[in-house]
Structure 1
Amino acid sequence: MRRVVLLLYFISIFLFSCQQPTERNVDPNFVLCLFNKDESPTSFLLVESLDEDKSSTAVQIPLSTSRIREREYIQKHGFFYRLSNRNNVFTKYQIQGSSLVLVDSLQLNNSNFETFSWIDDEHLVAVSREDVQEKKSQARVYQIDVKSMKIVRQDTIILPYATDEFWALHVGLVHVDKDDLWLAYSFFKSKGKYGHTTSDTTYYATLDYRSFQLKNIQKETRSTYPGGFNIIQSYSFEDEKGDYYFMTNPGIALGNNIKLPTAIFRKMKGQSLVDEAFMIDISAAVGNHAYGLWYVGEGKAIIRNEQKELYTDFSNHHSVYQFEYRLVDLASGKIEKIPFPLDKGTQKENVWSDKKYIYAAIDDANDDHRVWKYNLQTKEVTKGIKLPSSTNYTVRLDYLK
């Protein structure tokens, strides 16, 4: 017990060591997570509006001095949940005035969390990789009640691994549809300085969510590395009809199996199998891999693609101003470029839409850090709110309401 108490104290004081900035009256609609220059703390920027308006009130809250993994939080209705892969504690925070305050914590049995999904406003399902024993690829599934901060249920799932060469498990997506628990996963192996490379097959497992018994496994060989570390970046969504769309990410920044394409797939509402007749080949259309998938309404989604002629390898992939934003028509497969400035950085949760505008927080080559707007009807690009001059890198943009 003493160890747990000390750990919670460490998390609340160090990881989210919120200082008291000048008190200002602000009812924020949005929060941006910023990495700042000169190794200064990561911070939250709370704003009322994303429009370019000098009179808009903003409050900046310093977070941890750590520059790594400060983006890995989940936001829901103004609460922030930290599901860290560095420890086994699930924490809940709330903004009070100009501070981020620890509300509650929950001890888990695992770290290495990769993916989560909301069942409803009060329950989320999170999946972690368990320690591998005898080359058994194990996933630990938790359902958490975030209102009471209690584990509703948990269990270990053993998924048959692919080959003796590829047996380390990556679970990129989890989705609950009525009584079915659906997982999208692949297998990888260690590979030199790039860390890993992924096998050439994606697997979709459907389980009975009441018993965790495996019902079927579906294979996909046209692409690999489904989803990703979605605590940091979105790779899936449900549309208005309840159909579930998701992206595979085999590019150099994630799956590192660049011979296969980035693609968008679909699992229709009420179906346990992925629709084999539907595939949007992103790489064939743009000549590059893409990372991140955000729904903007009316059958359209945003992707964020690299430009392979602008970076050397993984060492500078994140720091080169190369990333473009494109609008995908899910019905026709048509992909068109949005004329935003080139962006830098991998794994950014920086896109939001109110179905009239697309908003993207971009760090451009002129060291201008701001939110840009794209009008979905007129296709006009305009400037939004400018971020503090101390900003080096914008990693998240969340709507709080």
Structure 2
Amino acid sequence: MRRLIFLLYFISTFLYSCNQTAEKNIDSNFVLCLFNKDESPTSFLLVESLEEEESASVQIPLSTSRIREREYIQKNGFFYRLSNQTSVFTRYQLQGSSLILLDSLQLRNPNFETVSWKDEENLLAVSREDIAERKSQARVYQINVKEMTIVREDTIILPNATDEFWALHVGLVDFAKGDLWLAYSFFKSKGKYGHTTSDTTYYATINYDSFQLKNIQKETRSTYPGGFNIIQSYSFKDKKGDYYFMTNPGIALGNNVKLPTAIFRKKKGQHLVDPTYMINISESIGNHAYGIWYVSDGKAVIRNEQKQLYTDFSNFHSVYQFEYRLVDLKTGVIEKIHFPLDKGTQKENVWSDDNYIYAAIDDSNDEHRVWKYNLQTKEVSKGIKLPNTTSYTVRLDYLK
């Protein structure tokens, strides 16, 4: 007998809250976050399997707002939300058939762009601040998610780039050997597209005990490292512990389209990015890409645009144009995965095990489905079909 799932409903402007239903035993392996056609609240869908025969008929309403409902983190059976609007960090746990609000923290800063786990219990959250004063500053919070306490809160002062490009984008953060490593760039406002990014990426290494800046490495091969990673992945560590990340200068993020989307590497235990390593995605496929997910065996998936199919940023997200490609991180060879064309930006919708790549796709036939790619045979097949009320799939997360 299929074990049913929980009901939750967020009713507060500042916090999620939820309605409990009758307690039932559940053991879901995956959660999908869906937008709905009738503009009703965004929903969670929990399922035990991504296979085609899996039945999925229950949508669980989340919030009444359609703004950034996808900004949540899940780890070790807990769900966390870091709200850019309210600066509130909240923690939930699945109990029976309900998602229970356990605790919350009020932070001082909005504009959180990137998070990273320092260890199993401590989350590092980085925001930019003092935009109005034109100071290149970032604030780092270390949050113990078990105790729900702020362990540490510090301001990092980074040198300004130029008078023209002064607004700070902190796209990536990593912690290794007692040092904090940040990848960032600078941008400026520009017309209807909002902003454009300078032609340089910076990598800063900071002693975590003293918070003293140790060094800054400059990167001119590409720009706009990472992105809003509470929503979409732009980095990962492979089985050896090497740290891979992607720059995103295309129209949807950095808006400096003359520079290429590229993959870079920082080897385990190192703070300097390897100057001899770069996979130039744009040169290989003629387009920019957004989002990168580790597969296994030295490979990763990227999600790329097709510039011949959209007009400008006004229809960028609504055109069925996005492809998925498999990148060999050792050789740089990039292969197309023959999934249906997808739509939408900032999607955390890819997961992989040792056998398959799974991607939740919204195709031009208005079908919303998880598709499978066999890593051995390279065959594409259908996975679970999502409810007919779905208009857009924004997340696919593995819960175990």
**TM, length-normalised to structure 1:** 0.94
Write the distance in 2 (CA, Å) between the matches of 1:58 and 1:144.
36
1:166-199 CA-partner distances (Å, limit 9, x unpaired): 0000000000012110000000001111111100
Q: Residue 37 of structure 1 aligns with which residue?
A: 37
In the alignment, what sits opposite 1:393? 392
Corresponding residue number in structure 1 for 2:287:
288
Cα offsets for 1:340-371 (capped at 9, x unmatched):
00000000000000121000000000000010
Amino acid at match of 2:335: E
Which residue identity does 1:375 align to in structure 2? N
Check the 8 A contact 1:15/1:63 in 2, yes or no. no
Residue pairs, 1:264-343, within 5 angstroms: 264-343=263-342
Cα distance change on mapping 1:11 and 1:175 into 2, 3 Å: farther
CA deviation after TM superposition for structure 1 residue 102, in Å: 1.0
* CA–CA separation in structure 2 for the residues paired with 1:308 and 1:20: 46
- For the residues of structure 2 that align with 1:89 and 1:58, how far apart are their CA atoms? 32
1:121 correspondence with 2:125? no
Q: Is 1:237 equivalent to 2:241 in the alignment?
A: no
- Between the aligned partners of 1:15 and 1:147, the Cα distance in structure 2 is 18
The structure-2 alpha-carbon separation of the partners of 1:277 and 1:73, relative to structure 1 and needing over 3 Å to count, comes to same
Structure 1 residues 319 and 340, CA gap change in structure 2 (3 angstroms): same
- C-alpha displacement of 1:99: 2.9
- Work out whether 1:48 is the aligned partner of 2:48: yes
The structural deviation recorded for 1:96 is 2.7
Pairing of 1:198-213 with structure 2 (within 5 A)? 198-213=197-212
**C-alpha distance in 2 between matches for 1:57 and 1:21:** 19
Look up the match of 2:347. 348
| Residue identity matched to 2:32 | L
- Counterpart of 1:96, as a letter, is Q
Letter in 2 for 1:79: F
CA pair 13-27 structure 1, distance change in 2 beyond 3 A: farther
Instruction: Encode CA deviations 1:284-319: one digit per residue, 9 max, x unaligned.
Output: 011000000000011000000000000011111001
2: CA distance, partners of 1:247 / 1:256: 15
Alpha-carbon distance, 1:95 to partner: 2.2
- Give the direction of change, closer, same or farther, for the CA distance of 1:85–1:207 in structure 2 (3 Å limit): same
Residue 50 of structure 1 deviates from its aligned partner by 0.6
Q: May I ask how many residue pairs the two structures share in their alignment?
A: 392
Helix, strand or coil: the match of 1:174?
A: strand
One-letter code of the match for 2:189? S
Alignment partners' CA distance in 2, 1:38 and 1:21: 24
Write the letter of the residue equivalent to 1:183: L
Separation in structure 2 between the aligned mates of residue 301 and residue 83 of structure 1, nearest angstrom? 27
| 1:262 Cα offset (Å) | 0.2
Q: Is the 8 A contact 1:116 1:127 kept in 2?
A: yes
Q: Could you say which residue in structure 2 is the equivalent of 1:69?
A: 68
User: CA 1:38 to 1:21, structure 2 compared with 1: closer, same or farther past 3 Å?
Assistant: farther
Structure 2 distance, partners of 1:294, 1:76, is 17
Judge conservation of contact 2:11–2:63 (CA < 8 Å) in 1: no
Provide Cα deviations, 1:103-134, integer angstroms capped at 9, x if missing partner.
Answer: 11011111110000012221111100112364
Counterpart in the other structure of 1:3: none
Aligned to 2:226: 227
Residue 56 of structure 2 contacts residue 385 of structure 2 at CA under 8 Å; is this kept in 1? Answer: no
RMSD value, Cα? 1.7
> Cα offset for 1:334?
0.1
* 1:177 matched residue in structure 2: 176
C-alpha distance in 2 between matches for 1:46 and 1:393: 16
What residue is the counterpart of 2:95 in the other structure?
Answer: 96
Q: Secondary structure in 2 aligned to 1:204? A: strand
- Partner secondary structure for residue 297 of structure 1: coil
CA contact (8 A) 1:245 1:266 kept: yes
Q: Which amino acid aligns with 2:145?
A: V
Q: Which amino acid aligns with 2:140?
A: V
Q: 2:377 aligns to what?
A: 378
The CA distance in 1 between the partners of 2:22 and 2:387, in whole Å, is: 16
In structure 2, how many angstroms separate the alpha carbons of the residues matched to 1:195 and 1:19?
Answer: 39
Determine the C-alpha separation between the residues in 2 that align with 1:24 and 1:122.
Answer: 28
**CA contact under 8 A between 2:351 and 2:398: conserved in structure 1?**
yes
Please say if residues 121 and 144 of structure 2, whose CA atoms lie closer than 8 Å, have aligned partners that are also in contact.
yes
Q: 2:150 and 2:24 mapped to 1: Cα distance?
A: 37
The percent identity for this pair of structures is 81
- The CA distance in 2 between the partners of 1:271 and 1:11, in whole Å, is 45
Out of 300-309 and 75-84, give the one that drifted further.
75-84
Distance 1:20 1:52, change over 3 A: farther
Q: Measure how far apart 1:97 and its partner are.
A: 3.3
Does residue 71 of structure 2 align to residue 78 of structure 1? no
CA contact (8 A) 1:61 1:98 kept: no
Question: 1:367 maps to what in 2?
Answer: 366
Deviation at 1:322, TM superposition (A): 0.3
More moved, 166-175 vs 82-91: 82-91
In 1: Cα distance, 2:346 partner to 2:314 partner: 15
Contact (CA 8 Å) 1:61, 1:99: kept in 2 or not? Answer: no
- Gaps (5+ residues) in structure 2? 1-9
Q: Structure 1 CA distance, aligned partners of 2:155 and 2:132?
A: 13
Aligned to 1:27: 27
- Shift of the 389–187 alpha-carbon distance from structure 1 to 2, 3 Å rule, reads same
- What CA distance in whole angstroms lies between the structure 1 residues aligned with 2:237 and 2:248? 18
